[in-house]
Structure 1
Amino acid sequence: MKEKEPREVWSFNRFCSLLSDEVFRRDWRDAYYTTVIFSSFAISY
């Protein structure tokens, strides 16, 4: 098995794309909470 990206990097990129999907698809309240969760996730990194 070849190692591509670290799993953390992949999941972070995936998380970012999922986040932007959420922001565009959901109403502002859900997008707001998703952004708050994302912010605390990024800060705790």
Structure 2
Amino acid sequence: MLMFQRTMPKMALFSVLFIAVLFIAIDFWLFISNNVSLVSWFFDV
């Protein structure tokens, strides 16, 4: 596990960024199409 963290820190960072961007894109699309935001569901805004 330590070896994995040492050899592929960029890959882990990229996957986290990719998931975040994907979540924002889906949330943005839902907001435009249905006027419903996932963020408001999760945080009760």
Query: Aligned in 2, Cα 1:10/1:38: closer, same or farther, shift over 3 Å?
Result: farther
Higher helix share: 2
* RMSD over equivalenced CA pairs, Å: 2.4
Aligned position for 2:26: 18
Q: Which gives a bigger RCO, structure 1 or 2 (Cα 8 Å, sep 6+)?
A: 1
**Larger Rg belongs to:** 2
**Gaps in structure 2 of 5+ consecutive residues:** 1-10
**Gaps in structure 1 of 5+ consecutive residues:** 41-45
Aligned residue pairs, count? 33
Percentage identity across aligned positions? 6
TM-score w.r.t. structure 1 length? 0.51
Query: Aligned in 2, Cα 1:12/1:39: closer, same or farther, shift over 3 Å?
Result: farther
TM-score w.r.t. structure 2 length? 0.51
Moved over 3 A (4+): 37-40
Q: CA deviation at 1:38?
A: 5.3
